[in-house]
């Protein structure tokens, strides 16, 4: 999730975007029911972009010792510790407790970017996927490309298939990859604009790992919908998203090799788009089993706040002051060998 909202003047009340009341009212009703008092704390963070934080994912293909030194001087520290079940040495990400944003890098022809600014919670699905060198990997809904870039910081897949059904977003995805990945490796990446719901039938049992970072009701950006009509339409269509998410997951399961695993993620707090979708999948497929990712949550609990009472195969990152990451839902499933 690339957070493009500009901080502007970092004092409360002076950020450039206005809260969309229709969306806020909708969230208020739904999330008070689903999350109780916890929603009040989350709402305060989501409504105040001045307190949002940005992680800095370093690009291993464009290493800079000076950059790491500069980050440490500015109070940044590594976001992920060795206690994580899966943390490749090439994967380096820096965060700090205070809000504010490191300057973004502009694209320069012929020069790779040194880092990617993003929501640190969006890296958790990639770490949960545990990609190893030589594995065939599908990123089913890949734009804008932050998670794809992160996968390539972890390992060198055998085949890396990046799919994005929206043609404009696919173009954006390709530009992002070209800004971070050198040419010999880009040639190993396959780009497509297929309907993600059909990939399982077109490419059955072809991948060891599949990432489904599904289209969802993006709580952060929806709150700042400047167009009332667009906001109203989004809220009307929200009920249909869980059906789309289920179909994408069904397709991903078909595309997985027996023994392969998938990670499902969204950037919404909505139970209908998170646990409900995963429970429906587990009830619909006898050859799919949940994978325990609670160890990952324990390893990063100092830097991330999680919703309690979740099942072992799922996590929900909750934004709070000083740890303004998420919302990010993550679930991991495995396709059993018959």
Does 310 sit behind a cis peptide bond, omega within 30 degrees of 0 on the bond before it?
no
What CA–CA distance (Å, rounded) separates 151 from 140? 13
Please check if 141 is assigned to a binding site: yes
267 is a catalytic site residue: yes
Q: Give the distance from CA 45 to its chain's centroid.
A: 18
Provide the β-strand partners of residue 139: 162, 211
What CA–CA distance (Å, rounded) separates 43 from 47? 6
Residue tagged active-site, from 20, 93, 154, 267: 267
What CA–CA distance (Å, rounded) separates 90 from 87? 8
Give the DSSP letter of residue 161: E
And the tokens for 293?
A: 């990712």
What CA–CA distance (Å, rounded) separates 253 from 282? 11
Please check if 142 is assigned to a binding site: yes
Pairing of the two strands 207-213 and 256-266: parallel
What CA–CA distance (Å, rounded) separates 170 from 303? 32
And the tokens for 254?
A: 């078909």
What CA–CA distance (Å, rounded) separates 120 from 191? 25
CB atoms within 10 A of CB 107: 11
Please check if 144 is assigned to a binding site: yes
Please check if 37 is assigned to a binding site: no
Please check if 195 is assigned to a binding site: yes
Please check if 203 is assigned to a binding site: no
Question: 325: buried, middle or exposed (CB in 10 Å: 19+, 13-18, 0-12)?
Answer: buried
Instruction: Tell the residue number behind the tokens 């609670």, with chain if given.
Output: 294
Please check if 14 is assigned to a binding site: no
Residue 103 dihedral angles phi and psi, to the nearest 5°: -60, 140
Pairing of the two strands 55-58 and 115-118: antiparallel
Pairing of the two strands 160-163 and 137-139: parallel
CB atoms within 10 A of CB 229: 8
Please check if 130 is assigned to a binding site: no
Which residues are tagged catalytic? 267
Binding-site residue ranges for S-adenosyl-L-methionine: 141-147, 164, 195, 213
């Amino acid at each position: 999730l690339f957070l493009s909202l500009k901080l502007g003047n970092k004092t409360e009340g002076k950020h450039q975007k206005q809260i969309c009341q229709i969306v806020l009212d909708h969230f208020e009703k739904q999330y008070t029911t689903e999350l109780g008092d916890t929603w009040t704390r989350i709402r305060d963070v989501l409504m105040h972009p001045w307190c949002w934080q940005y992680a800095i994912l370093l690009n291993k293909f464009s290493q800079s010792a000076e950059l790491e030194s500069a980050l440490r001087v500015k109070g940044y520290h590594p976001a992920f510790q060795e206690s994580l079940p899966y943390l490749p040495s090439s994967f380096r990400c820096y965060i700090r407790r205070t809000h504010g944003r490191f300057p973004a890098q502009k694209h320069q022809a012929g020069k790779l970017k040194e880092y990617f600014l993003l929501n640190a919670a969006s890296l958790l699905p990639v770490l949960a996927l545990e990609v190893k060198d030589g594995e065939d990997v599908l990123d089913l809904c890949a734009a804008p490309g932050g998670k794809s870039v992160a996968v390539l910081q972890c390992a060198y897949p055998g085949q890396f298939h990046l799919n994005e059904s929206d043609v404009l977003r696919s173009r954006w995805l390709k530009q992002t990859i070209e800004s971070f990945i050198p040419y010999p490796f880009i040639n190993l990446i396959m780009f497509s604009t297929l309907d993600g719901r059909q990939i399982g039938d077109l490419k059955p049992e072809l991948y060891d790992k599949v990432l489904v970072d599904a289209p969802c009701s993006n709580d952060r950006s929806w709150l700042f919908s400047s167009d009332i009509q667009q906001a109203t339409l989004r809220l009307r269509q929200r009920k249909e998203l869980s059906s789309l998410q289920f179909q994408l997951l069904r397709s991903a399961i078909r595309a997985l090799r027996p023994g392969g695993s998938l990670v499902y993620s969204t950037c919404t707090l909505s139970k209908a788009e998170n646990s409900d979708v995963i429970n429906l999948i587990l009830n619909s497929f006898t050859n799919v089993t949940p994978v325990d990712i609670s160890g990952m949550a324990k390893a990063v609990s100092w830097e991330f706040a999680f919703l309690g009472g979740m099942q072992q195969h799922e996590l929900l990152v909750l934004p709070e002051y000083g740890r303004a990451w998420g919302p990010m839902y993550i679930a991991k499933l495995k396709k059993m060998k018959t």
